[in-house]
Structure 1
């Protein structure tokens, strides 16, 4: 994967964020996108070899659109400043997300702002064996890789049906259950970048398995 080409494309797109510029540079965009998809295919195969429950996700299926959704975010630019994709993307579960861009690059996973039914399933799992999730989150290597859960919408009080005295009340108040691992451009240009992605995937896997079991069982 020519990441220099990817970052150069995103830099010029960011400076000329318009349909007119994109139309003139459509061939360049397709070249970068195809390279990224091929790299995703390679990562998909590598990650599949680590996990018997891995859900094969070809690059074309995993890659996100580069267009922003202006219907819900009318003030955003037409195009994003990154390429993003989800691998291990089974239906109704949290995927392994890879984002490479100008503003930020990261590896992430979990479940972002789930619907009410899914959120209730996660909270029921925490009520049943939240100590297992807490053990995963407190593991030294996990903390080093991801820090804490993503800080997003949280309830002030206990969710309906749970007590403020619940031993895992801090977890239950969350509405998003996700973690991120930031990437620098230096990380991405390293020769061992593929191995780094694999290492982060391995570290995140118990966390994602816990959540996916909660919402599918």
Structure 2
């Protein structure tokens, strides 16, 4: 349950300034602690179900700072109005396929799996795999447990090429996949769900449904690293 988290974030959205935040620092700390409990529960679940290496993490290794980097932004509000965390054995700075949790009030929360902004060599290899054998990737999207939560890859802002990537024809049968720059699927989470007693179980179920995609992306990552080493 995240009642204090949602309440604090709603207030912060209406009072996004340093003076208000300073006066409500204790509310922030309480909300963050509540969110940390959820992240800790998920880490324990993933330790048992995905990889024992998750046990090396604490919530602190996964949760992003609330402060915004405003140096190059027109929006100078100092704080994010959401809590977020990356769940991966390497922590939040990993470049590998991961699980991302985003908590924001008014039904704007979601869980995502996949890879965001893959590096140049990794992106190249993903496209090669799609070109060579897209059926394997499509089969993942057709799995019943996957379809229960996810549809297509998210088409994010500035996340799709306007034309075919270099070396591929514009009429390629899988051009919509090849044009992507990010390979992420996500599932919305409602405020009502966040207030339920079994929210950690629900989020874990969503994450587990997406592990077949992360598994495919991990194989491609390993092939990318192998190619760079040879």
| TM-score of the superposed pair, with normalisation by structure 1 | 0.90
Aligned residue-pair number: 216
SS in 2 for 1:65: coil
1:97 paired with 2:100, answer: yes
2:112 aligned partner: 108
> Corresponding residue for 2:75?
75
Residues 1:5 and 2:9 are matched in the alignment = no
Q: Give the structure 2 partner of residue 88 of structure 1.
A: 88
Separation of aligned partners in 2, 1:28 and 1:105: 20
Provide the aligned C-alpha RMSD in A: 2.0
> Structure with the greater relative contact order (CA < 8 A, sep ≥ 6): 1 or 2?
2
Is residue 146 of structure 2 the alignment partner of residue 142 of structure 1? yes
Return the alpha-carbon distance in structure 2 between the equivalents of residues 183 and 82 of structure 1.
13
TM-superposed deviation, 1:53: 6.8
Query: 1:76 Cα deviation (Å)?
Result: 5.0
1:200 aligns with 2:203: no
Which residue pairs with 2:226 in the alignment?
none
Distance 1:144 1:82, change over 3 A: same
TM-score (norm 2): 0.85
Tell me, what secondary structure is at the counterpart of 1:145?
coil
Distance 1:76 1:142, change over 3 A: farther
Answer yes or no: is the 8 Å Cα contact 1:89–1:96 preserved in 2: no
Return the match for 1:157 from 156, 163, 180. 163
Q: 1:54 to 1:148 in 2, by over 3 A?
A: farther
Secondary structure of residue in 2 paired with 1:96: strand
Structure 2: any 5+ residue segments left out of the alignment? Answer: 224-230
Consecutive unaligned residues in structure 1, runs of 5 or more: none
